[in-house]
Chains A and B, each alone.
Chain A
Amino acid sequence: MCDLCMKHGAGGKWYLNAEHYSNTIVERYGLRDYLLEQYKNFEQVSVRKVHGFSAVGLGYKLRIPIIGRMIKHTAKNMLHSKKPPKNPLKAENHIGQVVPLEDAIAIIEKCAVEPLIEKHCMCRYMSRGIKEACCINFGVMSEIIEKLPRFVPEKEKFHLSRKEAVDRFRAHNRKGYIGTIWFGPFPYINNLCSCQSPECAGIRPRLDFGIHSIYKAEYVIQMDRKKCSGCGHCVKRCPFDALSVHKDSQSLDIDLEKCFGCGVCRHVCSQQALHLLPRDMVAQVKGKY
């Protein structure tokens, strides 16, 4: 169990706590206006100055002695903040976690509030200029996205039933997109994304700059040595470089420290040799989220 689950999970995982999806939270914090304002200006978040610093050239800024450490600290506090959201122009209270296919299906089937939509991925639009529908939104967020034409798919059907949402998510997951669930802003959950690295604006700060913008999943990958044939299909699939085929023995090496537990490698394994195990049951990575 990660810290979020301990404090906000009501005994289970935080993202399976239906309270975080309810519309009462939206009314309590006035999130309708907040979210509309935030998503109108979504692409600007990285270039807008917060406390005098923007994210432009972040790699160089973090290398400055003392100031670099302060920037990292401030960024982390902003993302992990649990205070009521105030400024829609900052990426406040926006923290997420990787979820494997099974948990994502549970979210869609049990927790998500209607209406469900599938919108264009914002990260892919701002970092690649392409429009690809693969983010699933719930509740109030769906109503807001409809007001922003650049995120609304023109040709495909984007209002989904729960079953259709599960099917779409499963298709993305099989393609190798990492399932992620987001507080946006805390304590409201409204985004179930299918992310790609390096495009994802949430995974990049963690992988490249060490800012904890996303938690690893509650699971970690394990392999069955007897079944593995060492074909290496999963190695190409892993976006976190956690898998490699050992040169001499032709068997798979798993770097548990690097594994985020997204489980997309399982879909390409023809031998069914890969499976997920709860992180708490593996001593090496227990408590490392």
Chain B
Amino acid sequence: MRKKNKIKINYAVCGDGNTIDPRHCAKCLQVCKPAIFLLHQTVGASEKNPLDPQKWRVTPLWPSLCNRCMACVEACPEKAIEVL
């Protein structure tokens, strides 16, 4: 039995200010049947300093519900998603 689904997103490509802005693309979010992705603002920097710019990014929030259909991998225009 497979232990854990690992979904990796290359944030050098996908993210607010990088090649794709997830707010306008959002293809992976829309094709995912169990809707496991979350579009959100970054937390780490903003918690320490609320004046830091908050950037939008996509996080695989519920990987345990992923059914490995690979639709997100195919839908991503920059091939930034990897399902292991």
Contacts and interface: CB of A to CB of B under 8 A. Distances in A.
B42 to A, nearest CB: 8
Nearest to B31: A128
Interface in A54-93: 55-60
A56 B26 contact: no
B43 A126 contact: no
Interface residues of B, number: 23
A59 B60 CA distance: 12
B61 A56 contact: yes
Interface stretch (A17-25, A41-49, A247-255): A41-49
A127 B37 contact: yes
A208 B64 CA distance: 10
B39 interface: yes
Interface centre among B29, B34, B35 (most CB of A within 10 A): B35
B7 to A, nearest CB: 10
A103 interface: no
Interface residues of A, number: 22
B65 interface: yes
A128 B34 contact: no
Contact of B39 (A55, A57, A127): A127
Interface centre among B25, B61, B63, B65 (most CB of A within 10 A): B61
A56 B59 contact: yes
Given A57-B62, A208-B62, A127 B35 contact: yes
Contact of B65 (A43, A47, A59, A126): A59
B38 interface: yes
A129 B58 CA distance: 10
Contacts of A130: 26, 30
B65 A208 contact: yes
Contact of B64 (A43, A44, A59, A199): A59
A128 B38 contact: no
Given A128-B35, A129-B26, A198-B35, A57 B40 contact: no
Given A43-B40, A46-B40, A127-B37, 20 more contacts: A44-B43, A47-B43, A55-B61, A56-B59, A56-B61, A57-B62, A57-B64, A58-B64, A59-B62, A59-B64, A59-B65, A125-B39, A126-B39, A127-B39, A129-B22, A129-B25, A129-B30, A130-B26, A198-B65, A204-B62
